[in-house]
Amino acid sequence: PARHFTRYTDQTTAILKQVGLAERALQLAGTLPHGDQRKLELGIILGSDPEVLLLDEPTAGMAAEQVPELMALIQEIQQQGNKTVVLVEHNMNVVMSISDRITVMHQGRVLAEGAPAEIAANETVQSAYLGGLYELGGEGNEGNSGNSGNSGNSGKKGKKGESG
């Protein structure tokens, strides 16, 4: 019976409001702008009420002006829902701005871990992103060829951002 779906309808409506898509509730997902599709993805994740959100490149393909809104939404979800967020992200501005803890990887190896300020000041990390890591790979200078990564962790339970 339809009354069994009321709980799900109410939950869906609340989640759409939370991610800022209530006014688009009847719009097909494929017709949403890319930034709104990313918000919808977060909403779908929230529907299962996870303790940990694993987000792989949540800002990929987004226009620069859309990124701050999505990052604010992720932070809000993390803080209000007491969620842990593990974030894989190449956008260092995003990683540095929302993470409590960051793990930087290069060619599958951990280069550094720490608070954003520690990571920003770390010479090994700077070298990796400027292309000066000869000794780690043993195969010459690979630079920032998409094999380096950053993982940040912030929030009550922790938020992690990683790029790799």
pLDDT tens-digit series, residues 38-97: 999 999 999 999 999 999 999 999 999 999 999 999 999 988 888 999 999 888 889 998
In this prediction, residue 134 has a pLDDT band, given cuts at 50, 70 and 90, of very low
Query: Catalytic positions, please?
Result: 57
pLDDT tens-digit series, residues 100-123: 999 998 888 999 999 999 998 999
The predicted model scores a pTM of 0.70
pLDDT at 150 over 70: no
Domains of the chain, CATH where assigned? 50-162 (3.40.50.300)
69 class by beta-carbon count within 10 Å (0-12 exposed, 13-18 middle, 19+ buried): middle
